[in-house]
Amino acid sequence: MKIITIFIATAILLTSCVQSIPNEQVVINNGQSSITELPIITEEITNETTNETPEETSAETNETDDSSPATASKPTTTPSEPPDSEPLPTHPINHDEIIGVWISYIELGEILPGKTETQFRQSYANMMDNCLTLGINTVYVHLRPFGDALYDSDYFPWSKYVSGTIGQTPDFDPLNIMLEETHKRGISFHGWINPMRIQHDSDIEKVSQNYDIGKWYKDRSKRDKYVVKNGNNWYLNPAYSEVRELIGKGAREIAAKYDVDGIHIDDYFYPTTSSAFDSDAFKNSRATSIKSFRISNVNNMVRTLYSSTKKGNPHILFGISPQASIENNYNNLYADVETWCKNAGYADYIVPQFYYGFDNSAQPYIKCINRWHKMLEDSSIKLIFGLAVYKIGKEDEWAGEGSQEWITERQILRRQILEARKLTSYNGIVFFSYNNLFNAPHLTTAVQKEIDAFKPIL
């Protein structure tokens, strides 16, 4: 059975939310925050700073004592036990070929705050019915965009995108409703969380000290270490074991408490290349470079997320959606994607955001997907292709000679799907995003023509 996984992500430009563009440093996945422009990189990764290959970088030993930041050789601390919950089904819904879509907090914010349980249920049910019309069989739904929760959590405060006020308990749990309406249609539900990005500057001071984030923010010895400000957002610093424990407990809680079919993270790792973000942690480690230090921290965090998910429910999946630019992953986000693709214990599936046209000067689509295929062709980890519906009919500013391709060319997404299916590593596609597929003003005439072209092959 063909599987349609749709990444329902943010395509709406807000003052604090902008769209993710491939050849840029993204502060948050799929365009929910500010971005820093990067030079277009075309060469292969050389790791000139450390003179190491990607695999060697992740294996570097940076020994520290138990209270110091994370190191590559030090095993991740096991998260403490979340509260006991009822046993969950042992046969989650996960399809052989994914046809998916991302649904972001912005899209949920359009149908959730201020609504009754009945109103929200009807709106979300309509979304799932729309998904079925395209054969979508998997949705990736935002559950923790900013160190908050769109579900009942012991570790993170209720999101303002639920009730309108951070920390305010709603009259119903929206996640239970979403799971019911998703599963009754045979659609798989993966909970999408941002592990490092937390509150905006204006919101973090409102977080209760009953939660670790609020406690760390108000503790002068932890503020700017465990929680760090970059731009208008605060971030968790994965260099510290206590921080990784919190991230792990959050994933395990969802997996153990709710009938989700997977836990999913996107491409928002380190938000900056500036050494000021974690200078104290780096000084207290034995790492030889900030790059290898951060790669080690992200690897430890990803391993914690994977193991915590499996401890919560060993039957569900854990997946990652990194940028498709391998160079940006290593040089700007410190994401060791080659290690994740070639080794067990990091992910069950990976969804690179192949948001490039065929004529993109830096990352032409065919070359890009083949690089990922090569990394995964001998791996048990599934490769799923993230595709950019949001670019249809628009100039691709960072594509060089291919900047007009999404305007002048036709059936780009259909051709991309057919090319992806030629690879033996292919396991499905995910569209970015729900609004672009179904809702005006995002669903333009140009987008509809593209949908009409690829719908018959799904």
Distance, in Å, from the CA atom of 45 to the CA atom of 216, rounded to the nearest integer, reads 37
Cβ atoms of residues 271 and 231 within 8 Å: yes
Pairing of strands 426-432, 98-103: parallel
Question: How large is the average pLDDT for residues 38-66?
Answer: 32
Share above pLDDT 90 across residues of the chain, in percent, rounded to a whole number: 80
Measured N-to-C along each axis, helices 117-133 and 174-183 cross at an angle, to the nearest 10 degrees, of 30
Using the structure block, give the residue that is written with the tokens 């610093």: 237
Residue 253 has pLDDT above 70, yes or no: yes
- Which phi-psi region, left, alpha or beta, contains residue 51 (left: φ > 0; alpha: ψ -120 to 50)? left
Output the pLDDT for position 165: 96
Distance, in Å, from the CA atom of 416 to the CA atom of 352, rounded to the nearest integer, reads 14
Output the pLDDT for position 323: 98
Distance, in Å, from the CA atom of 194 to the CA atom of 146, rounded to the nearest integer, reads 7
Output the pLDDT for position 90: 60
Using the structure block, give the residue that is written with the tokens 């009807």: 122
Output the pLDDT for position 168: 97
Question: How large is the average pLDDT for residues 323-327?
Answer: 98
Residue 364 has pLDDT above 70, yes or no: yes
Residue 216 has pLDDT above 60, yes or no: yes
3-state secondary structure the chain: CCCEEEEECCCCCECCEECCCCCEEECCCCCCECEEECCCCCCCCCCCCCCCCHHHHHCCCCCCCCCCCCCCCCCCCCCCCCCCCCCCCCCCCCCCCEEEEEECHHHHHCCCCCCCHHHHHHHHHHHHHHHHHCCCCEEEEEEECCCCECCCCCCCCECHHHHCCCCCCCCCCHHHHHHHHHHCCCCEEEEEECCCEEEEHHHHCCCCCCCHHHHHHHCCCCECCCEEEECCEEEECCCCHHHHHHHHHHHHHHHHHCCCCEEEECCCCCCCCCHHHCHHHHHCCCCCCHHHHHHHHHHHHHHHHHHHHHHHCCCCEEEECCECCHHHHHHHHCCCHHHHHHCCCCCCEECCECCCCCCCCCCCHHHHHHHHHHHHCCCCCEEEEEEEHHHCCCCCCCCHHHCCHHHHCCCHHHHHHHHHHCCCCEEEEEEECHHHHHCCCCCCHHHHHHHHHHHHHC
Which tens digit of pLDDT belongs to each residue from 198-207?
A: 999 999 999 9
Residue 14 has pLDDT above 50, yes or no: no
Residue 265 has pLDDT above 50, yes or no: yes
Structure tokens given for 30: 């799929």
Question: How large is the average pLDDT for residues 51-62?
Answer: 34
- Domain 4-457, CATH: 3.20.20.80
Measured N-to-C along each axis, helices 290-312 and 241-257 cross at an angle, to the nearest 10 degrees, of 30
Question: How large is the average pLDDT for residues 242-260?
Answer: 98
Question: How large is the average pLDDT for residues 144-157?
Answer: 98
Distance, in Å, from the CA atom of 300 to the CA atom of 80, rounded to the nearest integer, reads 16
What average pLDDT does the structure give for the chain? 86
Which tens digit of pLDDT belongs to each residue from 301-312?
A: 999 999 999 999
Question: How large is the average pLDDT for residues 216-227?
Answer: 98
Domain ranges of the chain: 4-457
Share above pLDDT 70 across residues of the chain, in percent, rounded to a whole number: 80
Question: How large is the average pLDDT for residues 423-441?
Answer: 97
Instruction: Specify the range with the lowest mean pLDDT, choosing from 34-48, 213-227, 357-371.
Output: 34-48
Residue 187 has pLDDT above 90, yes or no: yes
Output the pLDDT for position 91: 79
What confidence category does residue 363 fall into, taking pLDDT thresholds of 50, 70 and 90?
Answer: very high
Residue 151 has pLDDT above 60, yes or no: yes
Question: How large is the average pLDDT for residues 35-41?
Answer: 30
Output the pLDDT for position 257: 97
Which tens digit of pLDDT belongs to each residue from 380-391?
A: 999 999 999 999
What confidence category does residue 26 fall into, taking pLDDT thresholds of 50, 70 and 90?
Answer: very low
Residue 130 has pLDDT above 60, yes or no: yes
Output the pLDDT for position 204: 98
Distance, in Å, from the CA atom of 221 to the CA atom of 398, rounded to the nearest integer, reads 41
Residue 52 has pLDDT above 80, yes or no: no
Distance, in Å, from the CA atom of 229 to the CA atom of 226, rounded to the nearest integer, reads 10
More confident of the two residues 44 and 160: 160
Distance, in Å, from the CA atom of 382 to the CA atom of 391, rounded to the nearest integer, reads 25
Cis peptide before 202 (omega within 30 of 0): no
Residue 339 has pLDDT above 80, yes or no: yes
Instruction: Specify the range with the lowest mean pLDDT, choosing from 2-16, 83-97, 152-166, 433-447.
Output: 2-16
